[in-house]
Amino acid sequence: MSSTVAASAAGIAFVVIISVIVGAVRPRRYATVSEFYVAARAVGPWWNGAAISAEFTSAVACLGLAGLIATHGAPALWFPVGAAAGYVVILALVVAPLRRSGTYTLPDFAQWRLGSAALRRFATCYVLAIGLLYLVAQLHSAGVVLHLLTGLPPWTGWLSVTLVSVFVTLAGGMGSVTSVQAVQYWLKLVVFTGVALVLWCAWRCAVEAGPLEVAGFAAPYGDLLAGSGDPSLPGVLTVLLACALGTMGLPHIIVRVYTNRDGPSARRSILATQVLLGLFFLVPPLYGILGRVHVPDAQDEEVVLLLPGAMLPGPAGDVLTGLLAAGAFAAFLATSCGVLAAVGGAVSACVTRAGVSAFRLATAGVALTTLALTSLTTPGSSVLGVLLGFSLSAATFCPLLLLGIWWRRLTAVGAAAGFAVGGGLTAVLAAGEATGVKLGLVSEYPATFAVPLAFVAMVVISLVTPGRVPMGVDRMMARMHLPEEAASASGDRSSLEDGRSSVRHSPYVDDY
């Protein structure tokens, strides 16, 4: 066994062991399923912000973004801006009203706001699709990294990430997941920042260090769905649109607004997330610049991991590679844990009201499905997979949330039409990309077309079905837009159970 392999294996093992210990040590016992699902609303703003940042800085942020910068240069620097814009939109338009609604999942909100159990099931299918896109991207990246660094078959990476993620999620629900993610965020920040600074200093201090001429380069690119890897203006705008509007519909992000004690704490956690993400996204450009100089022929997701060995061959490079392997697996685990918890909760709430046992069963089922899909697909760009998830979210849940929160005339039929148009178009374009069937600009930049069409479909169909506006809509709108104290005092759920706006089907409504 070479020293590089030994260092990488040690780094990965360290992260796995730490994750298991943090997730398993004295998991809190929760009295209700809602407490299990939202960590009893006992998470502090900065701890919650670190957890959100950990699951958002997935394989894309840690490995794929640096590779895109190395390949395409300055235009790829716009990718993190989409994430920052997404949290601004969430903070300004979504956090407070959604929390006041008291619905813990996106399908819950759809049924509560529009009074349709069928729409809830429809929305759950999209939550599952987005979650699977995220999870498959993480598992494929884990397999690529483990095979690159240790020579082990890719399935060992898939299995290790899945087993640890399932264990943490089942051990203590969102409480265990939050603790593991917060620890992993700080581990990733220290590792990736520290190694980047060491490599940067080694390069700039070397006698042969050349001039810094990397700001404007752009390599050839193919027609990539969702704008991934496209440095042109349309590609950059597509990524910004998908990230800015898709963030609010990611199931593992939205559930976080309930893990804080109250509304002000939830808003502070989003602000904390923006600060912590800003710190982390200062690092990928360093790796991108160094990768362009030292490993110009590497694949996107290999750039970061190959840099230490290329720049500092020997023991120093081996140690740095082991640290980066630990950081990469922390990214895979943090995102996988969060997505599993959110998707498992949404699926279990849709299928049954049995409580924690159903949540655990659904989580295990989602994990097995992810493993099966990973084994049936080939590794690709993690950036592409995650951007597809963002695009699907932007074309479905973004219009549902914005119109459902701010427009009283939305109907279940209109929402379903928007889901079918936006989500269907995105799915068709993704299938066409996979089979080689392209529709010009529509195939290359799906979010630019799918999101406006989804909004138009929801509005038009709602306007032509005015009789389907749910009863009690005025009370629901007041509940979402009044201050939290007034809403909880005057508009509790019992007052909404006189018509189609009832939320009695949700298993997460036992306390608010």
| Widest distance between CA atoms in the chain | 77
Q: What number is the average pLDDT over the span 275-296? A: 88
**Reported confidence tier of residue 209, pLDDT bands at 50, 70, 90:** very low
Q: What number is the average pLDDT over the span 39-67? A: 83
Flag the least confident range among 71-75, 179-183, 280-284, 338-342. 71-75
What is the average pLDDT value for the chain, to the nearest integer?
81
C-alpha closest to that of 149 among 10, 55, 285, 20: 10
d(CA 61, CA 412): 36
d(CA 351, CA 144): 35
The 3-class secondary structure across 90-119, one letter per residue, is HHHHHHHHHHHHCCCCHHHHHHHHHCCHHH
d(CA 73, CA 34): 45
Fold entry, domain 3-483: Sodium/glucose cotransporter (1.20.1730)
Flag the least confident range among 126-140, 174-188, 493-507. 493-507
List pLDDT tens digits, range 286-333. Answer: 888 888 888 888 887 788 999 998 888 888 989 999 999 999 999 899
Q: Considering only residues 276 and 42, tell me which one the structure prediction assigns the higher pLDDT.
A: 276
Q: Within a 10 A sphere around the Cβ of 400, how many other Cβ atoms? A: 28
d(CA 504, CA 507): 8
Q: For position 37, what pLDDT does the model report?
A: 74
C-alpha closest to that of 287 among 304, 301, 302: 304
Burial of 41 (0-12, 13-18, 19+ CB in 10 A): middle
Is residue 105 within 8 Å of residue 508, measured between CB atoms? yes
Residue partners of 13: CB distance under 8 A and separation at least 6: none
Q: For position 382, what pLDDT does the model report?
A: 66
C-alpha closest to that of 284 among 55, 68, 51, 53: 68
C-alpha closest to that of 200 among 218, 183, 214: 214
Q: For position 216, what pLDDT does the model report?
A: 43
- Decide if pLDDT at 260 tops 90: no
Give the N- to C-terminal CA distance of the chain in Å, as an integer: 55
**Reported confidence tier of residue 210, pLDDT bands at 50, 70, 90:** very low
Is residue 185 within 8 Å of residue 191, measured between CB atoms? no
C-alpha closest to that of 150 among 326, 341, 396, 310: 326
- Tokens read off for 78: 């716009």
Flag the least confident range among 137-141, 424-428, 431-435, 467-471. 431-435
Is residue 72 within 8 Å of residue 218, measured between CB atoms? yes
Q: For position 372, what pLDDT does the model report?
A: 94
Flag the least confident range among 214-223, 452-461, 463-472. 214-223
Highest-confidence range of 276-290, 474-488, 489-503, by mean pLDDT?
276-290
DSSP letter at 262 equals S
Is residue 322 within 8 Å of residue 337, measured between CB atoms? no
- Residue percentage of the chain with pLDDT more than 70: 83
pTM of the model: 0.85
Q: Considering only residues 183 and 254, tell me which one the structure prediction assigns the higher pLDDT.
A: 183
Domain boundaries, the chain: 3-483
List pLDDT tens digits, range 368-419. Answer: 999 999 998 887 666 777 888 888 999 999 999 999 999 999 999 999 999 9
Q: Tell me the one-letter amino acid at 308.
A: P
List pLDDT tens digits, range 215-255. Answer: 444 443 344 444 455 667 777 778 788 888 888 888 888 88
- Decide if pLDDT at 57 tops 90: no
Q: What is the gyration radius of the CA atoms in the chain, in angstroms?
A: 22
Is residue 174 within 8 Å of residue 344, measured between CB atoms? no
d(CA 153, CA 190): 29
Burial of 208 (0-12, 13-18, 19+ CB in 10 A): exposed
Q: For position 208, what pLDDT does the model report?
A: 47
d(CA 476, CA 495): 10
Is residue 326 within 8 Å of residue 14, measured between CB atoms? yes
User: Which whole-number Å values give the CA distances from 317 to 188, 195, 209, in the listed order?
Assistant: 18, 10, 18
Q: What number is the average pLDDT over the span 121-150? A: 91
Angle (CA) 159 165 169, round 5°: 145
